């Protein structure tokens, strides 16, 4: 008899986006003339940079000739892209990361979800609350949690991110083996300082733990004093893996390209307490289960680092940040507390009421879609997330309507 992985049965059905879709659909049906503005989803809206589509096109033309055709490429990614990443994203900021420590993939979602299979089933896991749901769900699937009760899985060390700690969790009382961190954060938009990040790096070292650092939103950091990479912190290479993506900085959500950094000296331990390097293990996993990102997509990603590509990607991000500025200043004027919006495309708003109640009110009174904070964890209850991923005109109109609705 074929039996299923029972851990999948523990997963809480994510009603978040299906619930939102149903509520928006019902509202649209009842109000067919109402123009709905979506500030809910975490997906970009503006076109790919021209430098990227040009590179994409010419790579496809190469593929159309026998001499330029490419079949399977290196699983870890083409050298041209890994070199460009190492040089531009790390070495230029004083982080000593080399091309062979970069693993190109089709998404930071898959990488941050797959990485946990390198570690023992009884590893103790620390996960921020609220946060991107992938870290938690993939550990539930792998059997690292108990059942779900009172809004939380048993066996997980939750790192509460609240107004009191400025949405940067403090070190937990109970010692974890694996620590997930995400900054700038989704959904709170909060950032971490170099000193705060150093506290985590030092803690991981002292406790033989490993940090999984998701920096998918690093491009939105405007404050030059903030770290874009965990490797800007001394000693991080031994205890941290970093996830990056072209999704949010260059509009690749539908194009698919990302990468994971596993430094050569980054280590975990075997059953006898011996040091085991992670690089060869991740390399083995990657090559066994993945056959590389398509050549045209890697050429398009490489173009993000060309002179024109850098300027165009910067312009995309600046446009979203301008939206974020507008949302943040209007929310402030309305007298609501919030986080994010400064070095992040997300604005995390203290709703002064239940998350879904706020969602319903904004939809019915303003025709604006937000994301209820409760969907990101227990600590998200009472909050909503507004996203800056839209046109400036739509954001302007949305804020006008929100002002009227909340007045
Ligand atoms: C959007 C996002 C990613 C990017 O995922 P891709 O699979 O590369 O598109 C990763 N982490 C977080 C927290 C995100 O919000």
Cα radius of gyration (the chain): 22
> Is the shortest distance between the CB of 107 and ligand 1 below 6 Å?
yes
> Is the shortest distance between the CB of 293 and ligand 1 below 6 Å?
no
Q: Please state the domain extents for the chain.
A: 6-47+308-406, 53-305
What is the pLDDT at residue 11? Answer: 92
Mean pLDDT rounded to a whole number for the chain = 97
CATH classification of 53-305 is 3.20.20.70, yes or no? Answer: no
Say how far residue 83 (Cα) sits from the centre of its chain.
23
> Is the shortest distance between the CB of 253 and ligand 1 below 6 Å?
yes
Q: Is 348 helix (H, G, I), strand (E, B) or coil?
A: strand
What is the pLDDT at residue 245? Answer: 98
Residue-wise pLDDT tens digits, 130-168: 999 999 999 999 999 999 998 899 999 999 999 999 999
Please, which residues bridge with residue 3 across strands?
Answer: none
Which residues, 6+ apart, have CB-to-CB distance to 184 below 8 Å?
A: 190, 191, 217, 218, 220, 221, 340, 343, 344, 346
What is the pLDDT at residue 362? Answer: 96
The pair of structure tokens assigned to 279 is 């690089």
Q: Name the closest-CA residue to atom 11, ligand 1.
A: 216
What is the pLDDT at residue 18? Answer: 85
| 156-160 sheet: strands from edge to edge | 102-105, 258-261, 240-245, 210-214, 178-182, 125-129, 156-160
CA distance 227 to 221: 8
What is the pLDDT at residue 41? Answer: 81
What is the pLDDT at residue 399? Answer: 98
What is the pLDDT at residue 350? Answer: 97
CA distance 5 to 282: 24
What is the pLDDT at residue 323? Answer: 98
Q: What is the pLDDT along the chain (407 residues), one digit of tens a residue?
A: 999 999 999 998 777 888 899 999 999 999 999 999 999 988 999 999 999 999 999 999 999 999 999 999 999 999 999 999 999 999 999 999 999 999 999 999 999 999 999 999 999 999 999 999 999 999 999 999 999 998 899 999 999 999 999 999 999 999 999 999 999 999 999 999 999 999 999 999 999 999 999 999 999 999 999 999 999 999 999 999 999 999 999 999 999 999 999 999 999 999 999 999 999 999 999 999 999 999 999 999 999 999 999 999 999 999 999 999 999 999 999 999 999 999 999 999 999 999 999 999 999 999 999 999 999 999 999 999 999 999 999 999 999 999 999 88
Contact in structure between 349 and 383 (CB atoms under 8 Å): yes
> Is the shortest distance between the CB of 371 and ligand 1 below 6 Å?
no
What is the pLDDT at residue 279? Answer: 98
Closest CA to 368 of 44, 22, 35: 35
Say how far residue 185 (Cα) sits from the centre of its chain.
7
Q: Which atom of ligand 1 is nearest to 257's Cα?
A: 8
> Is the shortest distance between the CB of 101 and ligand 1 below 6 Å?
no
Which residues, 6+ apart, have CB-to-CB distance to 272 below 8 Å?
A: none
pTM equals 0.97
Segments of 306-359 assigned E as strands: 338-340, 346-350
Which residues, 6+ apart, have CB-to-CB distance to 31 below 8 Å?
A: 367
Torsion of CA 344, 347, 348, 349, to 10 degrees: 160
What size, in residues, is the chain? 407
Q: Which atom of ligand 1 is nearest to 246's Cα?
A: 8
Instruction: Please tell me the CATH code under which domain 6-47+308-406 is placed.
Output: 3.90.1150.10
The pair of structure tokens assigned to 238 is 């031994």
């Amino acid at each position: 008899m074929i039996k299923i992985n029972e851990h999948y049965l523990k997963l809480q059905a994510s009603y978040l986006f299906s619930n939102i879709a149903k509520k928006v659909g019902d509202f649209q049906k009842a109000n067919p003339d109402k123009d709905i503005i979506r500030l809910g989803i975490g997906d970009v809206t503006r076109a790919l940079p021209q430098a990227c589509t040009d590179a994409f096109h010419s790579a496809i033309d190469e593929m159309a000739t026998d001499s330029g055709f490419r079949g399977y490429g290196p699983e870890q990614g083409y050298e041209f892209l890994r070199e460009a990443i190492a040089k531009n994203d790390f070495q230029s900021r004083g982080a000593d990361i080399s091309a062979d420590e970069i693993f190109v993939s089709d998404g930071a979602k898959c990488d941050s979800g797959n990485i946990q299979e390198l570690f023992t089933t009884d590893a103790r896991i620390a996960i921020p609350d609220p946060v991107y749901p992938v870290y938690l769900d993939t550990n539930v699937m792998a059997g690292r949690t108990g059942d779900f009760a009172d809004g939380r899985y048993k066996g997980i060390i939750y790192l509460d991110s609240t107004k009191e700690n400025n949405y940067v969790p403090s070190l937990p009382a109970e010692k974890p083996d694996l620590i997930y961190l995400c900054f700038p954060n989704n959904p709170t938009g909060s950032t971490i300082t170099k000193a705060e990040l150093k506290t985590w790096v030092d803690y991981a070292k002292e406790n033989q733990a490993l940090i999984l650092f998701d920096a998918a939103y690093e491009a939105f950091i405007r404050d030059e004093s903030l770290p874009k990479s965990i490797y800007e912190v001394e000693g991080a290479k031994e205890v941290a893996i970093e996830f990056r993506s072209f999704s949010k900085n260059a509009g690749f959500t539908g194009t698919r390209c990302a990468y994971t950094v596993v430094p050569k000296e980054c280590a975990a331990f075997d059953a006898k307490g011996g040091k085991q390097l992670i690089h060869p293990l991740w390399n083995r996993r990657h090559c066994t289960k993945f056959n590389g990102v398509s050549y045209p997509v890697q050429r398009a990603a490489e173009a993000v680092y060309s002179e024109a590509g850098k300027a165009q990607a910067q312009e995309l991000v600046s446009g979203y940040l301008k939206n974020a500025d507008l949302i943040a200043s209007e929310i402030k004027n309305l007298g609501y507390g919030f986080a994010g919006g400064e070095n992040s495309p997300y604005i995390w708003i203290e709703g002064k009421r239940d998350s879904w109640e706020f969602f319903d009110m904004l939809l019915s009174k303003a025709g604006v879609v937000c994301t209820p904070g409760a969907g990101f964890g227990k600590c998200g209850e009472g909050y909503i997330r507004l996203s800056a991923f839209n046109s400036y005109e739509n954001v302007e109109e949305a804020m006008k309507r929100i002002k009227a609705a909340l007045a």
